[in-house]
């Protein structure tokens, strides 16, 4: 059973990357789960072989945050400064010096990128691991990216819809 | 160092100043006459502002010796209490109000309170603040050009005319000129930061108070990028009496609340806002009604010991001053709710505090704050100023029958998010200054300063409810916090932003998952003292700071 699962993971990981995912995407708040604390959210995706760089370009009032999570569909990776789009009115913080375990795979015939991370977070009772499963789905027309995020600690998924930023505007 | 004024003499002065006429059966105080006006919501510079500026300056003068003129604002105004308080004055103080329907009627009634008028320059925003300063010092009403005929009709003579005086000058230059001309004669234990709205709309509803008290008006910046304005600002603050007041609010167009509050805290001063808080010139002249004593709805004795069960304990706090927001929203009283009281209102608005206490329901519980006797950021209060301020806070909390102190320091945050924690040194000072409180609350947005010393916990907010956040997401957020904080008991402290309503919170609490118990905040802290499932944590020096504060001079 486990072997079968791993084989399946290997197969999906071996699928070709979806080039339509690349580029700069801008959050459409009206079509997304409400997000406290961020005024602007851009997601920039870059592909390099089996590596996928997910750069979050965020703004809260005057505070700009630009962080890249690079995952690899060929093998698990450890991330030192993992970034998640957090609801900033919750006392849930990235754990100081925390190491996040991340896996990634192309699924659905290569159309969708799925990542799964185990990330340590600081809460009032100390540090705990949060599992986050995320799917990055590009619309057929290539102009919309839907990020569906499921937490091990949250029954209600978070859905963020992004619109493609034209190349000339992104530069 | 100026000795802080004790409350008793103030009350005596206020009581003596009240012009007694005849006793009112059933009312707590003898009857007296006063006048009132209804304001609308038009504060546009090109619309209703000039007349309102005239009227609030007149109000400050009319209320110099006795409380004569009161303004009722629409329910949609940020301070929603002017209507209920108007009713309270009639019912409890026997005030018989006569309505004045226009500026003309107001001048007919009160022009004698003014010696003349000062003209501000509508093309130079800062000139309005200079005019208010002059109004206080010279007993003048403040007029824009188009209102000169009106005040002239009532026999008022020109005292000063700012038209053209400051054309083309920077705010720093204008206020430097005002400093040179007027500062020496202005009050030194208080100053009016008349900022807030800028541009097409301005809202100086607090100007009556500044005029009455002969304060220096300004909206100088605390933004470090505005070096010249900041330098003059610092000079003014440094020349105020230690422990003095900065009334009003920062300019929305120049700096941030965090910057200004950090700056005044650096001088051991305290903020009392907002810039549109109305009627202090009237309110300050009423004391508590005879026999009134603050009696809080305590749910637990200070020395009681409670034992937490394996549950999720949830407590709600609202800290944006009880005069704003939730108090008048539907559903109050259905949930245990803690309300941070603006303690200095004992001095400036006793009737307002009495009104809140009188209308409190069993589930309403009052706590002290914010950070001390006024709004300040404790990480920046000089060590030598801290004991004096907190001694005053202790006295006010005793008067108000409060057992919980709320602390907030957003100096290193961006808005209410980011680094909102207290240094260990600050926490040490609070424990030393408040040996008799049940415990402390910290934050506005979420924070992570936590402690437990003896039976006194210090708990930060784990969640902040933005009124705009969909209720389904609030419910999911709270359930996620409950899932993440899996040890039981879990102490979940929630800050409720001013304009939420309690009914919506009730619906949320019905959908929370787990062994939930909603408790009053005093019970919450007692339970938190019994089982420390939360970490001890202070501001980590390595945590990023959005702003580090101002260099010492």
**Binary contact (B491, A124; C-beta < 8 A):** yes
Is residue B489 within 8 Å of residue B283, measured between CB atoms? no
A45-62 residue pLDDT tens: 999 999 999 999 999 888
User: Quick one: pLDDT at residue B104?
Assistant: 98
Report the candidate in B420, B419, B422 with the shortest Cα–Cα distance to residue B431.
Answer: B422
Asked if A124 lies within 8 A of B485 by C-beta distance, the reply is yes
Q: DSSP labels for B163-197?
A: TTTTTT--HHHHHHHHHHHHGGGS-SSEEEEEEES
Contacts of B487 in chain A (CB under 8 A): 125
Strand B456-460 relative to strand B451-453, pairing: antiparallel
Provide the 8-state DSSP code for A17: P
CB pairs under 8 A between A and B: 93
CATH number assigned to the domain comprising residue A116: 2.40.128.20
> How many helices and strands in chain B, by DSSP H and E?
18, 24
Determine the pLDDT at residue B19.
35
A45-66 per-residue burial string, b: 16 or more CB within 10 A, e: under 16: bebeeeebebbbbbebbebeee
Of the candidates A63, A89, A92, the beta carbon closest to that of B484 is on: A92
| Chain B hits for A156, Cβ within 8 Å | 472-473, 476
Q: What is the least distance, in Å, from the CA of B112 to any CA of chain A?
A: 49
The minimal CB distance from A90 to the residues B460, B468, B477 is found for B477
Q: Please name the member of B466, B491, B540 whose beta carbon is closest to the beta carbon of A89.
A: B466
Kindly determine whether residue A88 and residue B480, on different chains, have CB atoms separated by under 8 Å. no
The reported pLDDT for the residue numbered B17 is 38
- What's the domain range around A56? 2-170
- What tokens appear for A105 in the block? 């795979």
Q: Give me the residue label for tokens 């709205």.
A: B197
Q: For B465, list phi and psi in degrees, rounded to 5.
A: -95, 105
For B122, B282, B385, the CA distances from B240, given in Å and listed in that order, are 30, 24, 13
Is B536 near chain A, with CB under 8 Å?
no
Of A63, A89, A123, the CB nearest to B484: A123
What angle in degrees, to the nearest 10, is found between the helix axes of B350-358 and B82-93?
90
Q: What residues in B contact A61, CB-CB < 8 Å?
A: 414-415
Please indicate whether, in this complex, the C-beta atoms of A121 and B484 are within 8 angstroms of each other. yes
Q: Under an 8 A CB cutoff, do B477 and A87 touch? A: yes
The string of DSSP codes covering B264-317 is: HHHTT-EEE--TT---HHHHTT--PPTT-------SS-TT------SSEEEEEE
d(CA B63, CA B68): 6
Mutate to test the interface with A, among B484, B537, B545 (most CBs of A within 10 A): B484
Smallest CA–CA distance, residue B414 to chain A, in Å, is 7
Q: Count the neighbouring beta carbons within 10 Å of the beta carbon of residue B395.
A: 16
| CA distance, residue B258 to nearest chain A CA (Å) | 12
Mutate to test the interface with B, among A95, A125, A156 (most CBs of B within 10 A): A125
- Do A91 and B476 make contact, defined as CB atoms within 8 angstroms? no
Contacts of A81 in chain B (CB under 8 A): none
Candidates B246, B270, B489, B476; CA nearest to B370 is B270
The tokens for B228 are 């010249």
DSSP B526-549: HHHHH---SPPB---TTS--S---
Counting DSSP H helices and E strands in chain A, the numbers are 2, 11
Which positions of chain A have pLDDT values less than 50? 1-13
CA distances from A126 to B486, B532, B539 (A): 10, 12, 15
Q: Which residues of B touch A125 (CB under 8 A)?
A: 484-487, 490, 533-535
Per-residue pLDDT of chain B (553 residues; tens, 9 = 90+): 232 223 333 333 333 333 333 334 444 456 799 999 999 999 999 999 999 999 999 999 999 999 999 999 998 998 888 999 999 999 999 999 999 999 999 999 999 999 999 999 999 999 999 999 999 999 999 999 999 999 999 999 999 999 999 999 999 999 999 999 999 999 999 999 999 999 999 999 999 999 999 999 999 999 999 999 999 999 999 999 999 999 999 999 999 999 999 999 999 999 998 999 999 999 999 999 999 999 999 999 999 999 999 999 999 998 876 655 667 777 889 999 999 988 888 989 999 999 989 889 999 999 998 999 999 999 999 999 999 999 999 999 999 999 999 999 999 998 778 899 999 999 999 999 999 999 999 999 999 999 999 999 999 999 999 888 999 999 999 999 999 999 999 999 999 987 667 888 899 999 999 999 999 999 999 999 999 999 999 999 998 888 889 988 7
Q: What is the pLDDT of residue B440?
A: 98
B-chain residues within 8 Å CB-CB of A90?
446, 462-463, 477, 480-481
Number of domains chain A is built from = 1
Sheet holding B95-99, edge to edge: B69-72, B32-38, B95-99
* Confidence at residue A10, expressed as pLDDT on a 0 to 100 scale: 45
CB atoms within 10 A of CB B24: 18
Q: Which residue does chain B place closest to A63, by CA atoms?
A: B414
Q: Model pTM?
A: 0.90
Contact A91 B533 (CB under 8 A): no
- Indicate the residue of B462, B472, B483 with minimum beta-carbon distance to A91: B462
At residue B553, the pLDDT reads: 78
| Residue A144: Cβ-neighbour burial (10 angstroms; 0-12, 13-18, 19+) | middle
C-alpha to C-alpha distance for B52 and B45, rounded to whole angstroms: 10
State the smallest CA–CA distance between residue B18 and chain A in angstroms. 47
Q: Does A128 touch chain B (CB under 8 A)?
A: yes
Please spell the DSSP secondary structure of B67-132, one letter per residue: --EEEEPPTTSS-TTHHHHHHHHHHHH-EEEEE--SHHHHHHHHGGG-SEEEE--TTSTHHHHHHH
Q: Chain A 9-38, CB below 8 Å of chain B: which residues?
A: 33-34, 36-37
Asked if B473 and A62 come within 8 Å (Cβ–Cβ), the reply is no
Give A66 to chain B, closest Cα distance, Å.
15
**pLDDT score for B183:** 98
pLDDT the model gives residue A50? 97
A103 Cα to chain B: minimum distance (Å): 22
Q: Is B480 on the interface with A (CB under 8 A)?
A: yes
Q: How far is CA B151 from CA B36, B48, B120, B327, in A?
A: 19, 17, 14, 39
Unique residue bearing structure tokens 């060929």 = A74
- The verdict on B484 touching A (C-beta cutoff 8 Å) is yes
Min Cα distance A31 → chain B (Å) is 13
Taking CB atoms within 8 Å and a gap of at least 24, the contacts of B61-65 are B61/B110, B61/B113, B61/B114, B61/B135, B61/B139, B61/B141, B61/B211, B61/B212, B62/B109, B62/B110, B62/B113, B63/B208, B63/B212, B63/B281, B63/B282, B63/B285, B64/B113, B64/B212, B64/B281, B65/B17
Read off the pLDDT of residues A115-137 as tens digits, 9 standing for 90 and up: 999 999 999 999 999 999 999 99
Tokens of B181: 């001309």
B476 → closest Cβ in A62, A121, A154 = A154
Residues in chain A: 171
Q: Do A125 and B486 touch (CB under 8 A)?
A: yes
What structural domains and CATH numbers belong to chain B? Answer: 7-283 (no CATH), 321-530 (3.20.20.490)
Predicted ipTM > 0.95: no
Chain A neighbors of B224, CB-CB under 8 A? none
Mean pLDDT, rounded, of chain A: 90
């Amino acid at each position: 059973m486990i072997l079968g699962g791993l084989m399946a993971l290997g197969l999906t990981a071996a699928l070709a990357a979806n080039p339509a995912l690349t580029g700069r995407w801008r959050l459409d708040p009206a079509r997304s789960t409400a997000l406290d604390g961020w005024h602007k959210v851009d997601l920039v995706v870059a592909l390099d072989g089996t590596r996928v760089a997910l750069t979050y370009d965020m703004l809260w009032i005057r505070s700009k945050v630009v962080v890249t999570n690079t995952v690899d569909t060929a093998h698990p990776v450890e991330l030192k400064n993992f970034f998640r789009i957090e609801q900033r009115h919750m006392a849930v913080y990235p754990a100081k010096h925390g190491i996040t375990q991340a896996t990634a795979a192309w699924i659905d015939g290569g159309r969708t990128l799925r990542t799964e991370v185990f990330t340590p977070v600081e809460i009032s009772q100390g540090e705990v691991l949060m599992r986050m499963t995320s799917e990055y789905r590009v619309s057929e027309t290539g102009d919309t990216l839907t990020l569906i995020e499921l937490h091990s600690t949250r029954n209600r998924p978070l859905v963020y819809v992004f619109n493609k930023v034209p190349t000339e505007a992104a530069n | 160092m100026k000795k802080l004024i004790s409350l008793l003499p103030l009350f005596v002065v206020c009581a003596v100043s009240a012009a007694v006429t005849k006793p009112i059966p059933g009312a707590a105080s003898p009857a007296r006459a006063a006048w009132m006006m209804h304001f609308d919501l038009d504060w546009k510079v090109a619309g209703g502002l000039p007349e309102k500026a005239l009227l609030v300056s007149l109000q400050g003068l009319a209320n110099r010796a006795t409380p004569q003129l009161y303004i009722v604002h629409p329910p949609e105004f940020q301070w929603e209490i002017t209507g209920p308080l108007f009713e309270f004055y009639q019912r409890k103080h026997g005030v018989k109000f006569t309505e004045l329907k226009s500026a003309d009627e107001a001048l007919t009634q009160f022009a004698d309170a003014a010696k003349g008028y000062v003209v501000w320059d509508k093309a130079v925003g800062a000139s309005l603040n200079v005019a208010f300063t002059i109004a206080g010092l010279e007993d003048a009403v403040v007029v824009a050009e188009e209102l000169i005929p009106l005040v002239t009709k009532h026999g008022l003579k020109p005292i000063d005319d700012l038209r053209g005086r400051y054309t083309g000058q920077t705010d720093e230059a204008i206020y430097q000129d005002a400093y040179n001309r007027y500062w020496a004669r202005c009050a030194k234990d208080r100053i009016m930061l008349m900022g807030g709205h800028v541009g097409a709309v301005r809202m100086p509803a607090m100007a009556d108070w500044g005029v009455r008290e002969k304060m220096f008006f300004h909206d100088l910046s605390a933004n470090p990028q505005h070096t010249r304005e900041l330098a003059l600002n610092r000079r003014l603050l440094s020349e105020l009496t230690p422990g003095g007041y900065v009334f009003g609010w920062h300019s929305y167009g120049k700096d941030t609340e965090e910057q200004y509050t950090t700056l005044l805290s650096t001088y051991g001063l305290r903020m009392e806002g907002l810039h549109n808080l109305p009627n202090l010139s009237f309110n300050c002249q009423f004391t508590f009604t005879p026999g009134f004593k603050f009696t809080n709805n305590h749910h637990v004795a200070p020395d009681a010991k409670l034992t937490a069960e394996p549950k999720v304990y949830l407590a709600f706090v609202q800290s944006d001053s009880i005069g704003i927001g939730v108090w008048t929203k539907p559903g109050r009283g259905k949930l245990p709710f803690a309300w941070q009281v603006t303690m200095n209102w004992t001095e400036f608005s006793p009737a307002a505090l009495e009104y809140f206490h009188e209308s409190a329901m069993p589930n309403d519980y009052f706590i002290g704050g914010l950070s001390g006797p006024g709004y300040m950021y404790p990480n920046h209060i000089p060590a030598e100023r801290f004991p004096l301020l907190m001694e005053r806070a202790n006295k006010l909390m005793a008067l108000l029958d409060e057992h919980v102190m709320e602390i907030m320091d957003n100096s290193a945050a961006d808005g209410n998010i980011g680094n909102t924690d207290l240094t260990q040194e600050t926490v040490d000072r609070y424990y030393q200054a408040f040996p008799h409180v049940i415990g402390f609350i910290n934050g506005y947005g979420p924070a992570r300063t936590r402690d437990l010393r003896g039976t006194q916990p210090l708990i930060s907010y784990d969640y902040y409810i933005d009124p705009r956040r969909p209720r389904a997401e609030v419910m999911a957020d709270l359930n996620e916090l409950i899932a993440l904080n899996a040890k039981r008991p879990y102490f979940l402290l929630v800050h409720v932003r001013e304009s939420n309503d309690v009914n919506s919170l009730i619906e949320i609490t019905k959908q929370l998952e787990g062994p939930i118990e909603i408790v009053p905040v005093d019970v919450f802290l007692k339970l938190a003292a019994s089982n420390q499932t939360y970490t001890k944590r202070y501001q980590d020096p390595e945590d990023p700071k959005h702003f580090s504060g101002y260099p010492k001079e």
